[in-house]
């Protein structure tokens, strides 16, 4: 199968602190990972595309200095929410593109990280 | 820009068939997906269809694509209580590329 994990699954932090979320592809290498944000009862909005060994590509309206993305290896991408504020509270979901030979280049999603900023 | 629309809610009795509809606007959409999200969890890929296909069946799931009308549907046969979840359709222009999601359809299966 294609399994993607996220850590932590839930985090509560104080306003002004930074929070790092990890996304790992467990049984495949992913040159590309995606970070999404989901507000309650809403759909997923793509924040950025993370490429191994290069800078992330951010969607319009997403502050790259606020949401730092590092894709240092073929199995790990991290999202750091810097100087978090209550409005950053959300469900953050990553996905990893599985482009092993013969597959459909499908994205597989992690279980999500719920961030609550007090 | 791309836009994907879904109805918000569907209620169905256990054992009946469920049909979830989705429309999209991007004529260059090549891959269309259905994902399932259970409460507090990530997304599970259910099935996908290429734009050059009209139908795809996978066990209880049947996907129909009307490319002319840009309409996609997911039919779940013999719906079970475990099928209660939010279902998202999504499209992408190329395989593995960024996905544009619909708003999700909340399916409630009643016993």
Q: Which of B48, B94, B104 faces A43 most closely, judged by CB atoms?
A: B104
**Mean of the pLDDT values across residues A46-65?**
92
**Mean of the pLDDT values across residues B47-58?**
91
Q: Is the pLDDT of residue A104 over 60?
A: no
Task: Flag if B95 and A6 touch (Cβ within 8 Å).
Answer: no
**Strand, coil or helix: what is B83?**
helix
Question: pLDDT over 70 for what percent of chain B?
Answer: 96
Q: Which residues 53-92 of B are in CB contact (within 8 Å) with A?
A: 88
Q: Is the dihedral of CA A84, B44, B62, B33 positive or negative?
A: positive
User: Rounded mean pLDDT of chain A?
Assistant: 90
Q: Which of B33, B42, B88 faces A110 most closely, judged by CB atoms?
A: B42
What integer pLDDT is reported at residue B42 of this predicted model?
Answer: 84
Q: Is the model more confident about B99 or about A118?
A: A118
Q: Is the model more confident about B45 or about B98?
A: B45
Confidence of residue B9 (pLDDT cuts 50, 70, 90): very high
Q: Is the pLDDT of residue A81 over 70?
A: yes
Tell me the per-residue pLDDT of A34-45, one tens digit each, with 9 for 90 and over: 999 998 878 889
DSSP state of B81: G
Alpha-carbon gap, residue B71 to A98, rounded angstroms:
27
What integer pLDDT is reported at residue B95 of this predicted model?
Answer: 63
Q: Which of A4, A43, A109 faces B103 most closely, judged by CB atoms?
A: A43
User: CB burial class (10 A; 0-12, 13-18, 19+) of residue A41?
Assistant: exposed
């Amino acid at each position: 199968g294609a399994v993607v994990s996220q850590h932590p699954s839930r985090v509560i932090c104080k306003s002004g602190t930074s929070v790092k979320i990890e996304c790992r592809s467990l049984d495949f290498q992913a040159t590309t990972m995606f970070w999404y944000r989901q507000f309650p009862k809403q759909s997923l909005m793509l924040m950025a595309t993370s490429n191994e060994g290069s800078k992330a590509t951010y969607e319009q309206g997403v502050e790259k200095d606020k949401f730092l993305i590092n894709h240092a290896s073929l199995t790990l991408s991290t999202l750091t929410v810097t100087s978090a504020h209550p409005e950053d509270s959300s469900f953050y979901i990553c996905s990893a593109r599985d482009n092993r030979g013969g597959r459909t280049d499908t994205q597989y999603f992690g279980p999500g990280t719920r961030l609550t900023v007090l | 820009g791309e836009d994907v629309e879904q109805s918000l809610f569907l209620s169905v009795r256990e054992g009946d068939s469920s049909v979830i509809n989705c429309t999209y606007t991007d004529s260059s959409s090549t891959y269309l997906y259905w994902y399932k999200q259970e409460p507090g969890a990530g997304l599970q890929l259910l099935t996908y269809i290429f734009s050059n296909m009209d139908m795809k069946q996978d066990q209880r799931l049947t996907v129909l694509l009307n490319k002319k009308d840009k309409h996609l549907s997911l039919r779940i046969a013999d719906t079970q209580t475990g099928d209660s979840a939010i279902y998202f359709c999504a499209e992408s222009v190329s395989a593995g590329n960024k996905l544009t999601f619909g708003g999700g359809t909340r399916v409630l299966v009643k016993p």
